[in-house]
Amino acid sequence: MNKGSLDPPELNKDLSEPVSVPDSAMDRAVEIMRSGRLFRYGEFKGGSSEVAALEREFADYMACRYAVAMNSCGSTMFVALKCAGVQPGDKVLVNAFTLAPVPGAIEHAGAQAVFVQCRDACRVDLEDLEHKARAGAKAFLMSHMRGHIADMDVVTDICGRHGVVLIEDCAHTMGAKWDGRPSGSFGAMACFSLQTFKHVNAGEGGILITDDEDMAAQAILYSGSYMLYAQNGTAPAEQVFERHKYMTPNFSMRMQELTAALARPQIAMLDDRAAHWRERYDLLAGLFSEIPRVEIPQRPDKEEFVPSSIQFSLTGLEATVIDEVLEACGNRGVDIKWFGRPTPAGFTSTWEHWNYVGESQPLPETARMIAALCDMRIPLELTVQECHLIADILGDAVRQLGRKFQ
């Protein structure tokens, strides 16, 4: 039976494939394990910490003064809110369309999440931001969700005029820029993730950056430095710690040495990875945009993004049809996520599922955007040929099912 030749071709690539860890990182990790020194702080006789080296290297990469490594981006967001002076009950603005750890960090700080609408291309709606900042909020925890960067000139202007502390969630924008300036350099603080599916894969991990010495000292103390805070790779001067050291609880959110060993060589690889991802994205975006009903979000010229995923809307299709289109893609090996799915699956919960924040907030623009929004991960190793096959598979599924339901 020559069955294979009649079947439409399938993608033989796992789209969830992470970036691999470089050999030099593994060698260093093994060395550290042999030494047994897995904890970043110690009453060392000589020797220096791997985490401290990562902090120095990341601060250099971002051209900022301070970097504080922790155990996750979620931890850095929580600590950033504390450093911004957020008190229980304070309002914190946050994109309505973001990942669950972001409102989670706000809840962790005891604050009240106020969702800002998102519309085209996942970006925050600037009019709604103006409106909600004017009504009063302590901070804006801004997600550059799926790597889409809103107009940062307008965002910083709004936050500045209303006295709202801007904290950037750069989990999807490591290495990205807005108008030539690094994403993460616009807010008082910025938070990065080293989780497996982000741009640098250390399994878990987060880095908070800032140029503010008081915020840096507090972040180091909150993260769990004990009185060994001077061992941070970019620690501010002793007198800055004097202002905070007996007033700042230890939340025990440190990064361990192995994490830093895995991450360090990858920081140096970021720009090459970014260029490669961008090439694949541009190819996929071009191919997808030729498929009927598939709409690729416009990207402003000022946005230099690092796309480890691609977003598109399936327009003018009923929810049941979207479901079938994506199922047809899945049957041929192309796994596409749909944020509009009524019950959350995998990573795709939305604000409608975060009932712990209290009274539900009406967000019609966001609901409209999310209803049609699909998302596909772009593994770094995806080949040109595989990009063409993926576009063929999506195109077949839309054409066949779109026709059936007309």
CB of residue 375 to ligand PLP, shortest distance in Å: 11
**Interface with ligand PLP in residues 101-120 (CB under 6 A):** 101-102
* Near ligand PLP by CB under 6 A: residue from 49, 98, 201, 248: 98
Options 112, 195, 223, 348; binder of ligand PLP; rule CB under 6 A: 195
Q: And the tokens for 184? A: 């993460």
Nearer Cβ to ligand PLP (101/187): 101
CB of 79 to ligand PLP, least distance (A): 12
Which of 326, 339, 296, 340 is closest to 396 using CA atoms? 326
Q: Does 244 bind ligand PLP (CB under 6 A)?
A: no
Cβ atoms of 56 and 234 within 8 Å: the answer is yes
Asked if residue 143 binds ligand PLP (CB under 6 A), the reply is yes
184 closest CA partner among 195, 193, 173, 194:
173
Least distance between ligand PLP and beta carbon 75 (Å): 7
Out of 50, 90, 169, 324, point to the residue binding ligand PLP (CB under 6 A): 169
Closest among 391, 384, 363 to 114, alpha carbons compared? 363
Of 76 and 234, the one with the shorter C-beta distance to ligand PLP is 76
Task: Name the nearest CA neighbour of 83 among 200, 228, 253, 202.
Answer: 253
Q: In angstroms, what is the minimal distance from the CB of 42 to ligand PLP?
A: 25
In sequence order, the β-bridge partners of residue 181 are: 178
Query: Should residue 254 be labelled a site residue for ligand PLP when binding is judged by CB under 6 A?
Result: no
DSSP label of 9: P
Q: Which of 117, 173, 193, 218 binds ligand PLP (CB under 6 A)?
A: 193
From the CB of 30, what's the least distance to ligand PLP, in Å? 24
Establish if 172 lies at the interface with ligand PLP (CB under 6 A): yes
Token couple for 127:
């009019």
Residues 135-165 as b/e (b if ≥16 CB within 10 A, e otherwise) read eebbbbbbbbbbbbbbbbeebeebbeebebb
Q: Transcribe 220-273 into DSSP letters.
A: HHHHT-TT-GGGSTT---HHHHHTTTTTS-----BPPHHHHHHHHHHHHHHHHH
User: Per the structure block, which two tokens stand in for 301?
Assistant: 């010229």
Burial class, 56, CB count within 10 angstroms (exposed 0-12 / middle 13-18 / buried 19+): middle
Interface map 46-85 toward ligand PLP (x if CB under 6 A): --------------------------xxx-----------
Q: Using the rule CB under 6 A, give the single segment among 8-16, 19-27, 96-104, 297-305 that binds ligand PLP.
A: 96-104
DSSP 71-134: S-HHHHHHHHHHHTT--TT-EEEEESSS-THHHHHHHHTTPEEEEEPB-GGGPBPHHHHHHHHH
- Which sign, positive or negative, has the C-alpha torsion 340, 342, 348, 354? positive
Query: Which is closer to ligand PLP, CB of 287 or CB of 374?
Result: 374
Pick the closer one to ligand PLP by CB: 99 or 121.
99
Binding segment toward ligand PLP, per CB under 6 A, in 15-23, 84-92, 166-174, 270-278: 166-174
Which of 118, 152, 171, 382 is in the footprint of ligand PLP by CB under 6 A? 171
Q: 332, 393 in Cβ contact below 8 A?
A: yes
- Return d(Cα 268, Cα 363) in angstroms, integer: 40
19 binds ligand PLP (CB under 6 A): no
Nearer Cβ to ligand PLP, position 241 or 305?
Answer: 305
Residues 6+ apart with CB under 8 A from 181: 152
Of 86 and 191, which has the nearer Cβ to ligand PLP? 191
Cα of first residue to Cα of last residue in the chain, in angstroms, is 36
- How many binding residues for ligand PLP (CB under 6 A)? 15
CB of 171 to ligand PLP, least distance (A): 3
CA distance 170 to 61: 14
Q: Which stretch binds ligand PLP (CB under 6 A): 58-66, 167-175, 251-259, 391-399?
A: 167-175
- In this chain, which of 175, 182, 206, 236 binds ligand PLP, going by CB under 6 A? 206
Q: Return the number of the residue (207 or 294) whose C-beta is nearest ligand PLP.
A: 207
Q: How far is CA 141 from the centre of its chain?
A: 12
Q: Among residues 147 and 233, whose Cβ is nearest to ligand PLP?
A: 147
Instruction: List contacts with ligand PLP (CB under 6 A).
Output: 72-74, 98-99, 101-102, 143, 145, 169, 171-172, 193, 195, 206
